[in-house]
Amino acid sequence: MHTPARTDVAGRLAQLRLAMGRHQIDALMVPSADPHLSEYLPARWQGRQWLSGFTGSVGTLIVTADFAGVWTDARYWTQAETELAGSGVQLMKLPSGASVDYIGWLAARMSSGQTVAVDGAVLGLATARLLAQALDASGVALRSDLDVLDEVWTERPALPAAPVYEHLPPHAVKSRADKLAELRAGMAALGAGRHLISTLDDIAWLFNLRGADVNFNPVFLAHALIGPQRATLFVGEDKIAPALRATLEQDGVDLAPYASLAAALAALPSESTLLLDPRRLTHGTRQAIPAGVTVVESINPTTFAKSRKSAAEAAHVRATMEQDGAALCEFFAWLEQTLAEARRAPLTELAIDRELTAARARRPGFVSPSFGTIAGFRANGAIMHYRATETSHAVIEGDGLLLIDSGGQYLGGTTDITRVVPVGAVTAAQRRDFTLVLKGVIALSSAQFPRGVKSPMLDAIARAPLWAEGIDFGHGTGHGVGYFLNVHEGPQSISPSAMPEPHTAMEEGMITSIEPGIYRPGQWGIRIENLVLNVAAAEGEFGPFLRFETLTLCPIDTRCVELALLRADERAWLNDYHARVRERLRPHLAGAALAWLEQRTEAV
């Protein structure tokens, strides 16, 4: 779906306001969501982007008769200012930790007797409850039975039709039968005989299935209803081949049409006890559950299970990291050689994505990128979720820093890495910023912490070296990462905007990113990102402790480091890391890539 021009946005909003008038709607809310509350959306549910022109993955659009605004957080402010300029849609900046700030805005501006509408099929249940409470206090009605967007989006994309396939051994370590048995044990512990799951990565993990319905995430559109003996997968009828259908049925999994979930919920026996996760379910789906069914609300047991990688899965991830690291070495060797050529065609940010993806594609087990590559040169690196396009990108020439955030989906794991490389001369100010970010990476990577500590509490460890210099950054320090699944997964989140709730506890086997940064608008952006695995550390009178094993294998460019700012222990960490990178990647490389690895992992 292309980004709409300013004139397109104005015309689309005008048509939308006419439809709102027909339905006597005073304000319409369009969240960035689908019926599964996915982070990355199939084209059919990218209505906020289609209406506003803002392409960031997070944002909520609100339209009234005389106002249109998109609420988004600090990661997207620079991008949103550019994309919304002249469109008639205002950027509404969400303060850190105020993800539903727009609810208060609506409640304050709507008058008693007015109506706010939002499509309940894509409105999160937890958000719906907050919204209904705030509007009710102001005497404002909430309508969730309309998809007004469908009336004006005449060329709305259809549901994706990519086939579903099995994630097979050896990479699929545990059978779906075993996973279903463990899930039913978890359901029983919560007093539930049935369980509804709408989260796509939970479903893909549970059934050892993968798909391609969402860009970069190997998932497919489906709901799942787990019963005492059998499970039902609600999925597009033509997406599963007959042989796979037979295999699933033998494992106790029945198939039903994707659109038939509401009817199946309505038919649940009145004495049923149904487990659901209110944070991972939409308001519309919840309304389909009969009043006679007893509902137990708790986090999906699969969310915990899939976050805790087994020893066998961790071994596959380590092997995947070697392949990914080797691909990165080949890419960076090509990049440095290309930049050194005196006479060459202009090198652009777009070429970075193309060459990096090609290097990964040559590696065994590669399936796709795990997200859209961010390659930002100079000021573009300061845009946290920057994406170069054919119409707007930089030529890489002269002096400056090049930030590259990329990742791959492999059968044996998901990768996500950010590196910054110098082009031409590096200034003292750039070296200082880079080294402060590196100190943050080292501080958190070296941490030891009690098992079960709430993950948001670890955030300050990475920020401390930056805070000491009066510097901060506007995103979380780390997110969970899936196993050939979504590059962002929970329940852990190392972020100041995440609440330190019980479900965010750090447990053995979790894979998380560590990615502090410094962003100077108009100048440069610096982020260093590695993935780490929670492993057992010491256990004594104060209980079990965990530490991080760094999984990512790729040199950190020491040409950007101000060595005088590193303590002896920090320098030792960097040298030990580079020695490990060299040892693990050397067997996978030859020629220019091997020479590049040897040079970039020399001790400092």
In angstroms, rounded to a whole number, what is the distance separating the alpha carbons of residues 323 and 553? 9
pLDDT reported for residue 395: 92
pLDDT reported for residue 254: 97
pLDDT reported for residue 24: 96
Contact 458, 506 (CB under 8 A): yes
Contact 359, 203 (CB under 8 A): no
- Give the 3-state secondary structure of 139-153: CCEEECCCCHHHHHC
> Domain residues of the chain, as ranges?
6-152, 165-306, 308-600
CATH number attached to the domain at 6-152: 3.40.350.10
Q: pLDDT tens across 170-196, in order?
A: 999 999 999 999 999 999 999 999 999
Contact 340, 430 (CB under 8 A): no
pLDDT reported for residue 97: 54
Is 379 a residue whose pLDDT tops 80?
yes
State the pLDDT confidence band at 467, using cuts at 50, 70 and 90.
very high
Is 213 a residue whose pLDDT tops 60?
yes
What average pLDDT is seen over the chain?
94
Q: pLDDT tens across 107-145, in order?
A: 999 999 999 999 999 999 989 999 999 999 999 999 999
Is 415 a residue whose pLDDT tops 60?
yes
Which candidate, 305, 313, 309, 312, places its Cα nearest to that of 202? 305
pLDDT reported for residue 426: 97
Q: Which of 36-50, 333-347, 414-428 has the least mean pLDDT? A: 333-347
Q: Which of 4-8, 34-38, 50-54, 182-186 has the least mean pLDDT? A: 4-8
Q: pLDDT tens across 524-583, in order?
A: 999 999 999 999 998 889 999 999 999 999 999 999 999 999 999 999 999 999 999 999
Residue range 94-114: mean pLDDT, rounded: 85
Burial state string for 136-152 with b = 16 or more CB within 10 A and e = fewer than 16: eebebbbbbebbbbeeb
State the pLDDT confidence band at 7, using cuts at 50, 70 and 90.
low
pLDDT reported for residue 98: 55
Tally DSSP H helices, then E strands, for the chain: 18, 28
Contact 269, 225 (CB under 8 A): no
Is 242 a residue whose pLDDT tops 90?
yes
Q: pLDDT tens across 151-177, in order?
A: 999 999 999 999 999 999 999 999 999
pTM, 2 dp: 0.92
Is 384 a residue whose pLDDT tops 90?
no
Is 62 a residue whose pLDDT tops 70?
yes
User: For residues 2 and 61, which has the higher predicted lDDT (pLDDT)?
Assistant: 61
What backbone torsions phi and psi does residue 531 show, to the nearest 5 degrees?
-100, 145
Common-topology check for domains 6-152 and 308-600: no
Q: pLDDT tens across 288-301, in order?
A: 999 999 999 999 99
pLDDT reported for residue 526: 98
Residue-wise DSSP of 436-494: HHHHHHHHHHT-EEETT-BGGGGHHHHHHHHHTTT---SS-SEEE--SSS-SSEEEEEE
Yes or no: domain 165-306 corresponds to CATH 3.10.20.30: no
Residue range 336-343: mean pLDDT, rounded: 84
pLDDT reported for residue 39: 86
In angstroms, rounded to a whole number, what is the distance separating the alpha carbons of residues 418 and 519? 14
Q: pLDDT tens across 423-465, in order?
A: 999 999 999 999 999 999 999 999 999 999 999 999 999 999 9
State the pLDDT confidence band at 44, using cuts at 50, 70 and 90.
very high
- Six token digits for residue 469: 């210099």
State the pLDDT confidence band at 77, using cuts at 50, 70 and 90.
confident
* CATH classification number, 308-600, choose in 1.20.1090.10, 2.40.50.180, 3.90.230.10, 3.40.50.10860: 3.90.230.10
Residue range 48-58: mean pLDDT, rounded: 91
Q: What does the DSSP 8-state code read for residue 509?
A: T
Is 306 a residue whose pLDDT tops 90?
yes
Residue-wise DSSP of 51-96: HH----SS-EEEEESS-EEEEE-GGGHHHHHHHHTTTT-EEEEPPT
